[in-house]
Every structure is written in C-alpha cells, then in structure tokens.
C-alpha cells in the first residue's frame, strides 16, 4: 500500500490523522516544525518547516511510493482588523495556503499517473467572520479555492483533491477554552449534537477521503462541525403581557 505525507503531523488533528492512517496499515511520513509526540516516536518524521520545498521533498523521498497527501498547517495573527499588517497577513497566507502548492506538485509528480488523493484541512473560519481572525480566515478561504482548482486542473492526471472544514475541535492549542468549565459549556451549547468534536472525528473523515471508497469524490468541501454552522440562531421570543 502506497504512503501518505502528512504536513503538520504534530498538531491535534494532524497527529490524529497519523494514528488513523497507521491503524489502516498505510505507511506515513509526517512533517512538522515540532518533534513527534510520544505516541509517534517510531513514525518516519521530518522535523522542519513544511513551507520549505526541500523539507517537503525529503518527506516524499522517505517513503518513495506516495499517493496521498494531507495538508494540516496553520498560522494565526490575532489582532483587530485596524491593527493587522500586510507582513503578518502574508505570513499567515504563506503558511496556511501557499504552502499547499508545492506538496500538490510533488504528489502529482511522484504518483506518476497513478490515482492519488489530497485532503486540505480548512476551518469554518473560511466561510464565517470572527473578530481578530481576518488573516486566518483569508488563508483558509484561499486554501479551499486552491483545493477546488487542483481537483479540476489535476483530475485528468489522476488527482482527487478535497477539503475538510472542521468546526471547534478539542485540540491542545485551544485547551484553555475547552478545559475551562464555563467556556466548555458555552461551546457545547452551540453544538446540535450536544458535545465537542475530538480530533479523531476529523481524522476519520480525512482517512475516508484518501481511500478507495471515496474514489469519485473530488473538489468537495466537507464540513465536520456537528451541524454547528447549519443552525440558525433563534431570536428571543417576545414577552407576553396579560
């Protein structure tokens, strides 16, 4: 079975993807600027900047036969809109969106005409606005656009490219929110399913999209948020007076 390159393998969702793919018996190489977490010390690991083409190339070289790619990189610059700078914006876009281009080129080249699949991990921020997160939202929207373009233009060369758009997921970088009881209850209250997503919930969808059972799914954005963004908030009912 040919392998998968996972960019951002040390993050909450990225690490869950590595575990899920290993559980399916797929060879995996992970790339991250951080070292591997304890549960993945035996996984082939390229510690370096995944925006560097040389680092990406080293990852593909590690496995030799690669027909799968997961892009799970992000950068943020949280600040009010009027305090955002072009330099900060470019950096967030470079990490969150532009960095997917070279790996997609590599995947097509290494697959050599064989069917291959890529999944780009976006966010519900791509379609919604939240104060202080303009660069992040822009990067995720750009990533989704890149994924659609890749599916259309590279489909004739065997590529299926899809996007997964998670909602709020319990990952280490936002632990300060879901470990606080009041904040966790407020977040859970926004979820029609009545619970918060685990990284594994997203990883299973990604693994499905990489696999043969999704052989005719391409150019799609799959939202994994438990219907949170499907819910229309109800206005408060008018008070009744006698």
Active-site residue numbers? Answer: 136
Asked if 46 and 59 touch (Cβ cutoff 8 Å), the reply is: yes
- How far is the C-alpha of 176 from the C-alpha of 136, rounded, in Å? 19
Listed residue (33, 31, 30) closest to 18, CA to CA: 30
- CA 66, 121, 197, 10 dihedral sign is positive
φ and ψ at 196, to 5 degrees? Answer: -95, 150
**What is the pairing mode between strands 3-7 and 45-47?**
unpaired
Beta bridge partners of 165: 223
């Amino acid at each position: 079975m040919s392998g998968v390159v996972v960019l951002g393998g040390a993050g909450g969702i990225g690490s869950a993807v590595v575990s899920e793919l290993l559980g399916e018996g797929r060879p995996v190489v992970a790339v991250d600027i951080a070292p591997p977490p304890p549960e993945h010390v035996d996984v082939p690991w390229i510690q370096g900047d995944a925006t560097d083409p040389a680092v990406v190339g080293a990852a593909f070289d590690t496995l030799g036969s690669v027909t799968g790619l997961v892009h799970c990189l992000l950068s943020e610059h949280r600040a009010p809109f009027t305090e955002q700078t072009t330099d900060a914006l470019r950096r967030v876009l470079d990490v969150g969106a532009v960095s997917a281009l070279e790996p997609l080129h590599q995947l097509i080249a290494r697959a050599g005409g064989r069917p291959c699949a890529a999944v780009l991990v976006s966010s519900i921020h791509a379609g919604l606005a939240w104060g202080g997160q303009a660069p992040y939202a822009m990067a995720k929207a750009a990533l989704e656009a890149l994924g659609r373009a890749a599916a259309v233009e590279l489909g004739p060369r065997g590529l299926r490219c899809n996007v997964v758009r998670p909602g709020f997921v319990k990952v280490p970088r936002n632990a300060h929110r879901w470990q606080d009881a009041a904040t966790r209850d407020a977040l859970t209250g926004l979820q029609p399913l009545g619970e918060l997503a685990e990284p594994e919930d997203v990883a299973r969808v990604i693994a499905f999209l990489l696999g043969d059972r999704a052989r005719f799914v391409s150019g799609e954005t799959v939202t994994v948020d438990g219907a949170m963004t499907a819910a229309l908030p109800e206005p408060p009912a008018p008070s009744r007076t006698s």
